[in-house]
Amino acid sequence: MKAAVFSKFGDPAEVLEVREVPTPEPGPGEVRVRMIASPVNPSDTMFIEGRYGVRPTPPAVPGFEGVGVVDKAGPGLMGKMVVGKRVVAINNKGGNWAEYAVIPWKQARPVPADIPDDQAASLFVNPMTAVALTRHVLAVPKGEWLLVSAAGSALGKMIIRLSRRDGFKTLCVVRRSEAKRELIDLGADAVISSSEGPVPEQVRGITSDDGPRYALDPVGGEAGTAVFRSLGKGGRLVVYGSLTDEPIAVDPRSLISSRTSVEGFWLGHWMAERSIPRALILFREVAALIREGVLTTEVGATYPLDRVADATREAAAVGRGGKVLLKLGGEG
């Protein structure tokens, strides 16, 4: 089969190459998925660069999520139940940027027929994170402010649409002033640019009190620090990424006197703590929101596997439109 392989860490556009490799065979408790499509997410490119929480030993194949059809099951009863089904393929170790991938049967989630391949390919990472963070981890109440950094990302836009659905307010932070209009048109209650002045001062000018009690940050460094310093009394910051690889500066006095807190979130760990019935309910919850148009993924450029380097260049472009997808040769 064909697979995108990197033999050393580095710029994805430079280190990835498409090779013929042996088609994998599923072991006990595993299934093989004939892959249809997989998105290019920041976690994938960081994985290739060696900057992600999961660090493989090259040569390795990237790709944490995608959609495909289960064509074979290894020994065991449960895997046989999904053979022939179109599934969301959740690959915690990477490996979906290939014509076939092997994953545990529990991570092959059947996807409803009315959700198209391009939406199913990106159903897990961003939509599930949006639901998990806002409805379950923070449980943002109606009418409360949620401060969101990197709000112009695909996930940031999903959170904005979800806020309109669930009734909480979004205060969005972007780097570029020209990005503000799009988010306001999308339904954000307020948008500020870090290029226009200190974020905490801008935040307090909007919230008219000591700051929001809920915040999300995937960036770290100066951006994450600014979000933390914007929190009001009892505020919670959930960090779900580290795009800068830089630490957040936390003032111990603020933690003590203002009862603010910082906590980390990794979707894979959080989902592993859900029971199988609860996980199924979550997938149905996300699927329903995709049908409503709340958690749909804006799809941009689509590339065949042979052009994986071009796909990663497009994904890294500033101001690109929509999620970049790899088409991997399978059919739904």
Cβ contacts of 256 within 8 Å, gap of 6 or more = none
The answer to whether the CB of 123 falls within 8 A of the CB of 88 is yes
Cβ contacts of 267 within 8 Å, gap of 6 or more = 124, 125, 128, 129, 132, 240
Q: What mean pLDDT comes out for the span 59-76? A: 97
The DSSP annotation for 173-240 comes to EESSGGGHHHHHHHT-SEEEEGGGS-HHHHHHHHHSSS--SEEEESS-HHHHHHHHHT--TT-EEEE-
pTM equals: 0.92
**How far apart are alpha carbons 86 and 331 in whole angstroms?**
9
- The domain segmentation of the chain, as residue ranges, is 2-122+297-327, 125-268
2-122+297-327 maps to which CATH number?
3.90.180.10
Q: What pLDDT does residue 331 have?
A: 59
Rg of the Cα trace of the chain? 20
**How far apart are alpha carbons 91 and 70 in whole angstroms?**
14
The DSSP annotation for 14-41 comes to HHEEEEE-PPP---TTEEEEEEEEEE--
Structural element, H or E, at residue 157: helix 154-166
Mean pLDDT for all residues in the chain: 95
**How far apart are alpha carbons 90 and 94 in whole angstroms?**
9
Confidence of residue 330 (pLDDT cuts 50, 70, 90): low
> pLDDT, tens digit, for every residue of 95-153?
999 999 999 999 999 999 999 999 999 999 999 999 999 999 999 999 999 999 999 99
- Asked if the domains 2-122+297-327 and 125-268 are classified in one and the same CATH topology, the answer is no
Q: Which CATH superfamily is domain 125-268 in?
A: NAD(P)-binding Rossmann-like Domain (3.40.50.720)
